[in-house]
């Protein structure tokens, strides 16, 4: 029997990898995408199937997590065996700018989906995955963080996700639904949104190396994170829905590095050695050596990173380190990619794009660099 999955947030980083994975597993995949004024399906265009072809396995529906009737209608139509709720306003800094919208989508959106499943009488058929987050630990109460560590959210995003965590647990306990939380620590990839810190660094440094930008402006580079690869993490999302009983799991690597270290690795991938000097808002990164031919625009002495306080957050999560023991034991969790391999992959992809843009620029074609930052 072909299983049917519904993914909210299918156009995002995780949604695209999960859709690929489920299609490979033989699922029929339905995804909810938002209406936008320009194309927003770049991450899934390679798996898009023309609906005019016979038996397409991937179906897209217009929708929004803020729209109850739309979600209910889609679930009624799709009758999913599994719902993966990955849709969210997922940027922590932006949640301070748009706290109410973030609460509507990231908290009430989850309730709307759970209620739709219940209202349609699908509690026994439909399994539900909630994209919970290490941001729930915020001001950490225990290190490393595990499933039993108390939460202390530090942003409107994390507070909204806390609601979603508990409403998922509540529907499991109250209605016997197979509903569970994956408490995922940061995971990245070449498909990561450009305003999250890792991608901002790999894309920014690749552009600087190719002479398309001058300097990377960063926030708190002392911040410590437990970074994994998104491809490894979506496999776990699926596995959580294949158990005999629903359970919440921490997914993390158990290793922690600073943002500064990620900048150093990314530069090294480009053949660029850096020296950090100064403190606080005066800290800078200066080029000490350039090797190879990936950074023709750089020379010793160039300052390529400065601190810009606009990227500091009103309340910061300084340190996160997960303990994935439970996932290892019960789900057989073995991450295949290290953070250094992931960083190399991201730099390689961003360098390809930067080189293409530099070539166009050399031939007189202007390549606008996106103004969006984060
Ligand atoms: P992305 O930001 O890449 O993707 C978010 C997705 O949600 C996009 O498809 C986006 O659509 C969609 N979306 C945003 N707002 C709405 C809305 N109002 N209605 C419907 N869909 C909406 O996030 P990731 O793929 O990185 O993360 C997936 C989920 O996992 C998110 O819920 C995130 O909060 C959570 N998470 C992520 C972690 C990470 O490190 N990546 C760690 C822990 C949790 P569009 O493309 O149109 O913007
Ligand atoms: P995070 O990811 O907030 O952990 O949320 P992000 O990559 O945005 O920040 C990680 C850390 O880097 C610091 N930082 C900067 N961050 C950004 N974006 N831009 C900068 O210039 C910058 N300089 C320093 C941040 O302050 C922070 O400490 C991500 C999202 O995917 C969430 O949806 C998810 O729930 C969590 O990971 C787990």
pLDDT score at 221: 98
Ligand 1 centre from 12 Cα, in Å? 5
Phi and psi at residue 134, to the nearest 5°: -65, -20
Atom of ligand 2 nearest to the CA of 133: 35
Six-digit token string for 46: 């390679």
Q: Which residues of the chain have pLDDT under 50?
A: none
pLDDT score at 366: 80
Q: What three-state secondary structure class fits 353?
A: helix
Phi and psi at residue 84, to the nearest 5°: -110, 110
pLDDT score at 1: 87
**Protein residues whose CB sits closer than 6 Å to any atom of ligand 2:** 90, 92-93, 133-135, 185-186, 195-197, 200, 218-221, 223, 225, 259, 311, 313, 316-317, 374
Residue holding tokens 């997960």?
322
Ligand 1 centre from 190 Cα, in Å? 15
Kindly state the DSSP code that residue 219 receives in the 8-state scheme: S
Kindly state the DSSP code that residue 234 receives in the 8-state scheme: H
Instruction: Give me the catalytic one of 8, 126, 133, 198.
Output: 133
**Cα(153)–Cα(368) distance, integer angstroms:** 37
Strand order from edge to edge, sheet including 127-133 = 58-62, 28-33, 4-8, 82-85, 127-133, 179-184, 249-251
Six-digit token string for 118: 């219940």
Contact at 8 Å (CB) between 317 and 145?
no
**If you write DSSP's letter for every residue of 320-335 in order, what string do you get?**
--B--HHHHHHH----
pLDDT score at 53: 86
Active site residue 168: no
**Cα(214)–Cα(126) distance, integer angstroms:** 51
73 class by beta-carbon count within 10 Å (0-12 exposed, 13-18 middle, 19+ buried): middle
Q: What three-state secondary structure class fits 359?
A: helix
Mutate to test the pocket of ligand 2, among 187, 193, 219 (most ligand atoms within 8 A of CB): 219
**If you write DSSP's letter for every residue of 78-142 in order, what string do you get?**
H--SEEEE--S---HHHHHHSHHHHHIIIIIHHHHHHHHHHHTT-TTT-EEEEEEEGGGT-S-SS
Contact at 8 Å (CB) between 267 and 280?
no
Active site residue 372: no
The answer to whether the predicted template modeling score (pTM) of the entire model surpasses 0.90 is yes
Within a 10 A sphere around the Cβ of 348, how many other Cβ atoms? Answer: 15
Six-digit token string for 346: 């991201």
Q: Where are the beta strands (DSSP E) in 281-321?
A: 284-290, 303-307
ipTM: 0.99
Six-digit token string for 35: 């209406």
Q: Is 225 in the pocket of ligand 1 (CB under 6 A)?
A: no
Contact at 8 Å (CB) between 180 and 168?
yes
Active site residue 157: yes
Ligand 2 centre from 197 Cα, in Å? 5
Mutate to test the pocket of ligand 2, among 13, 17, 92 (most ligand atoms within 8 A of CB): 92
Closest CA to 257 of 229, 232, 226: 226
Give me the residues paired with residue 273 across strands: 289
Specify the residue with its C-alpha closest to ligand 1, atom 43. Answer: 133
Q: Is 13 in the pocket of ligand 1 (CB under 6 A)?
A: yes
């Amino acid at each position: 029997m072909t299983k049917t999955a519904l993914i909210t947030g299918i156009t995002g980083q995780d949604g695209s990898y999960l859709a690929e994975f489920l299609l490979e597993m033989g699922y029929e995949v339905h995804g909810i995408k938002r209406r936008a004024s320009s194309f927003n399906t770049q991450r899934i265009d390679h798996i898009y199937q023309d609906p005019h072809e016979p038996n397409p396995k991937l179906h897209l529906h217009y929708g929004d997590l803020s729209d109850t009737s739309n979600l209910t209608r889609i679930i009624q139509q799709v009758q999913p065996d599994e719902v993966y709720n990955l849709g969210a306003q997922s940027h922590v800094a932006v949640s301070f700018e748009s706290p109410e919208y973030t609460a509507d989508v990231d908290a009430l959106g989850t309730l709307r989906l759970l209620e739709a499943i219940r209202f349609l009488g699908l509690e026994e058929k439909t399994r539900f995955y909630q994209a919970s987050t290490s941001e729930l630990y915020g001001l950490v109460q225990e290190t490393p963080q595990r499933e039993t560590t108390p939460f202390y959210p530090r942003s409107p995003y994390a507070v909204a996700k806390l609601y979603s965590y508990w409403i998922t647990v509540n529907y499991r306990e109250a209605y016997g639904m197979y509903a569970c939380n994956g408490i995922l620590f940061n995971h990245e990839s070449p498909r990561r949104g450009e305003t999250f810190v890792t991608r901002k660094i790999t894309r920014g440094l690749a552009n600087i190396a190719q002479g398309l930008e001058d300097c990377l402006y960063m926030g708190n580079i002392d911040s410590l994170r437990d970074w994994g690869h998104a491809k490894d993490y979506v496999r776990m999302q699926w596995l959580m829905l294949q158990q005999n009983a629903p359970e919440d799991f921490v997914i993390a690597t158990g290793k922690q590095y600073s943002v500064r270290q990620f900048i150093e690795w990314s530069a090294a991938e480009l053949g660029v050695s850096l020296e950090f000097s100064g403190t606080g808002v005066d800290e800078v990164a200066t080029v000490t050596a350039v090797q190879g031919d990936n950074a023709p625009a750089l020379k010793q002495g160039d300052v390529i990173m400065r601190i810009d306080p606009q990227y500091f957050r009103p309340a910061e999560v300084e340190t996160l380190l997960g303990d994935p023991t439970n996932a290892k034991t019960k789900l057989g969790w073995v991450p295949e990619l290290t953070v250094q391999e992931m960083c190399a992959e991201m730099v390689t992809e961003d360098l390809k794009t930067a080189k293409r843009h530099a070539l166009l620029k050399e031939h007189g074609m202007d390549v606008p660099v996106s103004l969006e930052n984060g």
